[in-house]
Amino acid sequence: KAGFVALVGRPNVGKSTLLNHLVGQKISITSRRPQTTRHRICGIKTTEEGQIVFVDTPGIHASQKRAMNRYLNRAAVSALLDVDLIIWIIDRPNWLREDDLVLERIKSAGVPVVLVINKVDRLEDKAVLLPFLEEAAARHSFADLVPVSALKGVNLDVLERKIIAL
Ligand code: GDP
Ligand code: MG
């Protein structure tokens, strides 16, 4: 049994760093699910419960002005329709205006979303985290909200258990 998980987030939020920590050893995919070829597989984790296939998605572009961006956004959303779970990564508790648009796109895929707040090791004031989590939870019924540090390995075991459970 293979579960497909999309990693979504703006450049530099820490997608690659997180993936490297989540995926121990890369092995070849055994899933016969036809959609596999629609995705760029970026890592596979094998657990006792089955395999988790992490897939790259085309970036979701904030600006809707250009026809090209609209086209790319549709491509990004249609890729998300085929996954079981979306992991949306943001850089510390910063909800930018572009993120509203990213959330709209993600929502339209109708797939559970886990919001990962990365780089908490760089947070000077940890007290901002709790109000942020409450605010984010009010914007969307996320499957979960998980603060982590992909670089320092903080809370990644918790994230992994949640991914496996979903
Ligand atoms: P991507 O573009 O989303 O794949 O981001 P990368 O994984 O390449 O990370 C971008 C930069 O952020 C790199 O310099 C990483 O070392 C750094 N980074 C990633 N995760 C963390 C983190 O949890 N804490 C800190 N302090 N830096 C991080
Ligand atoms: Mg990267």
pLDDT tens for each residue of 16-61: 889 888 887 544 555 555 555 556 778 888 888 888 889 877 666 5
List the beta bridge partners of residue 88.
Answer: 8, 115
**Helices in 3-120 by DSSP H: which ranges?**
15-22, 67-80, 97-109
Residue 132 has pLDDT above 80, yes or no: yes
**From atom 6 of ligand 1, which residue's Cα is the shortest distance away?**
14
Residue among 126, 149, 143, 147 nearest 6 (CA): 143
| Domains of the chain, each with CATH number or no CATH | 2-165 (3.40.50.300)
Question: Bigger pLDDT: 20 or 128?
Answer: 128
Work out the burial of residue 166: count CB atoms within 10 Å of its CB; fewer than 13 is exposed, 13-18 middle, 19 or more buried.
middle
Structure tokens at 114: 């886990």
Asked whether 151 lines ligand 1 (CB < 6 A), one says yes
Asked whether 21 lines ligand 1 (CB < 6 A), one says no
Residue 76 has pLDDT above 90, yes or no: no
Q: Residue 60, annotated ligand binder?
A: yes
159-109-112 Cα angle (round to 5):
25
What pLDDT score does 78 carry?
A: 75
ipTM above 0.85, yes or no: yes
